[in-house]
Amino acid sequence: MSEFDIEEQIEELAGGEFERRPVPASRLKSWKSFLGMYAGEHAAGTEFVIGPLFLTTGVSAFDLIVGLLVGNLLAVLCWRYLTAEIAVKHRLTLYYHLEKICGKKLVIGYNLANGILFCFLAGAMITVSATAVGVPFDMAMPKLTDTMPNGVTWVVIVLVVGAMISIIAAKGYDTVSRAANWMSPIIVLAFLACGIVALQQLDIHSFREFWDLWGEGSEPFPGQIKYTFWHVVLWSWFANAAMHIGMSDLSVFRFAKKASSGWTTAAGMYVGHYMAWIAAALLYAVFLRTPEAQAALGMGEAPLVAPGPLAYSALGFFGIVAVVLAGWTTANPTIYRAGLAFQAILPKASTFWVTILAGTIATVAGLFPAFAMKLLDFVALYGFILAPVGAVIAFEHFFGKRAGIIPNYAEFHNLGVNRAVLLAWLLSAAGFYALSVWQDIFLSFLTFPAWVVSGLLFLWLSRLSHAKPAPA
């Protein structure tokens, strides 16, 4: 038996996920494994929030339907030709890959930020599942403006749901993928059924009537901004910016046999981020016609956005089950990613327990409805923060040799901090965020410019530093 085989057996016995070495050929997976995972992850409980939130921005029919078509295509192309290409070349987690380029000390700060942001995102998904579990208990649902827990029942349900999701995620990638493959067909069917039922309740019988439902759009609800075509395109493109151009899904696609597995993300984008968002928006359009919603609008308030009751009103008990499973399949891989981030900070801790830590943080975050109710803003922010670091990996991979820089510079010189990476990240993220605040620019409009500038700064600063002796 070779030394490599012995190391692999030891790692498997220790419950490892190949966090600090390339995934061996014996553990590679076919495209079918990723298809189920992405379909399940992105046809998720949060889609029951995002679809309605689009309507609160007063979006028009063209902007929503065509904008989502274009934005999701751009996201799939990023996964296929950036993330998956790099992942199958190196077969490393994002965090270990960054450590080689950035240095161990710098990557600790990044991993902490990355892990916490993923925990907050998973917390929003736990919130979504809790709204479904709470329906049979007649639980008071969180409002669009709520930030704090609204009662003991809410707290208990969130804690139970969060604990169950965390345990599944802690079992590792195989368990996460298997759970997604089992649950995703049920979730997809539920979203499709919700859309059909909503069309019937809205008395829509043709595509023209469907198109006219939103027409030219409307004024945004109180506290929301008006979305145009470009808002929809760029938000949907960068809703998962941390995963594709931010390279977080290197940790997922390192298990892929071929880079073409990146095309499986289309299942998530067009089943989840297209069909599911529109189906959820239709459900909310039904709710907006109710006396309760009209009364809220009459008082200048935004009507309730609660996924559980929305699905229950359309599908009954099956709708509750679908929302719970949808939140489950999305929170699982998100907590898994967060666990890998914490694993890079605590390399001696087992993957199981760092994932439980991530799940605990996510569950606590799920107690606070603000992460779900402000999901459009939060998703735009977390992608914007993390994407510029992914540019460092992408630009080194595709342009590093041509630019004449030393690959894996921090590892080569045993550096704790690669200053070129630190400056590229801080200058691009801080500079464009300041521009967003100063000029009141929608943050998703600046995510790609920040990514490109970060990559270019990294190459330029690296050339300057590589021309000098490395610091001691």
Q: What is the mean pLDDT of residues 398-402?
A: 91
Do the domain assignments include residue 393?
Answer: no
- Please indicate, yes or no, if residue 128 is contained in any of the structural domains: yes
What is the extent of the structural domain holding 89?
31-387
Residue 6 has pLDDT above 50, yes or no: no
Q: Are residues 158 and 126 in contact, defined by beta-carbon separation less than 8 angstroms?
A: yes
With contact defined as beta carbons under 8 Å apart, do 108 and 99 qualify? no
In a domain, 224, yes or no: yes
Specify the pLDDT at position 117: 84
Residue 453 lies in a domain: no
Q: How many structural domains are present in the chain?
A: 1
Least confident of 7-11, 309-313, 363-367, 406-410: 7-11
- How buried is residue 207: exposed, middle or buried, by Cβ count under 10 Å (0-12/13-18/19+)? exposed
What radius of gyration, in Å, describes the C-alpha atoms of the chain? 22
Q: Which residues make beta-bridge pairs with 29? A: 256
Once rounded to an integer, what is the mean pLDDT over residues 385-400? 93
> Does residue 450 form part of some domain?
no
- Residue 267 domain-assigned? yes
- In the 3-class helix/strand/coil scheme, how is 128-173 assigned residue by residue? HHHHHHCCCCCCCCCCCCCCCCCCHHHHHHHHHHHHHHHHHHHCCH
Q: What is the pLDDT of residues 105-133, one digit of tens each?
A: 888 888 888 888 888 888 888 888 888 88
Q: What is the mean pLDDT of residues 55-75?
A: 92
Residue listed under structure tokens 């809205």: 202
Domain of residue 250, CATH code: 1.10.4160.10
Contact 117, 385 (CB under 8 A): yes
Question: pLDDT grade, residue 175 (50/70/90)?
Answer: low
Per-range mean pLDDT, top range of 71-85, 208-222, 251-265, 328-342: 71-85
Task: Say if 425 falls within a structural domain.
Answer: no
Is 409 a member of any domain? no
